[in-house]
Structure 1
């Protein structure tokens, strides 16, 4: 019996050493003791956040796999879609299974209507040149771009030269008379 005491003590010492080393490595990895690890999100919040990361088709595919009992396939799909880690994907799919979330369309950022009354300034200067015969006019402004100049040309071609001239004066530093002269040269 005495012959077994020494090996058992050695075995207990090895187990204790491995446990201490494991805890130290875990503490080093998180930067704080394992008992102070980050609090996990509530499962409902985690499920809502996970569902928000999925498009409508991805949402349907993940839930189809969950419904079929293919949790590993659902985790793999979620991992591939989001690029999160395996553990985070596992937790997200588990939360989605425990707390089903309907698909919600992400509200697109409200498209800012371009207001012609207050032109935006661009980091570059745009040059528009119009000529007819020997007469050439140039407008250079950092409030013009291809889109705005295209609208001005469309207005001029449709016969609304006054609106085209007003738009050109709002998006450049020229007078209304100079804008009218420029618009008159746009007859292509």
Structure 2
């Protein structure tokens, strides 16, 4: 029994020393003063968007492949090497990317935020809207239209606000107001 007393005392002293050192370091990090660089913790979705923006298309594909295969350590290593961030930041970023999947967006194609919800926006595809009544058929093709915008235009037309619908259609396409009115008249039933 006496032979175990000395090693147990040494173990208790070492544990107390480590605990005190850890507390001192954490107090120093927290109380570093106003000149210290302190970042507020980000929301996971925001962190995922920011992390995704730091990756190339190939790195993005490989990272999500590793996440899908359950290879978290390899994914963290890939992000660490690709982004140049620290290990803890890389771990947090990969966690956020796994929890909030992001599609790859080329840096030049990122949408610009606008305050106007109805402002025209260019899409990478052309949208075709077709309206017909009897023998008359009209088509509008534009890369500023999508299902949501066309749905709003149809709703305005069916509610009887043909001018607002025509105005919205001219804003989101390259047709004249006269052509927009003709198109809207075919929608108005």
**Bin for the TM-score computed over the shorter chain:** 0.3 to 0.5
Provide TM-score, normalisation by structure 2: 0.46
Instruction: Report which of the two structures shows the higher radius of gyration computed on alpha carbons.
Output: 1
Q: What is the TM-score of this pair, normalised by structure 1?
A: 0.46
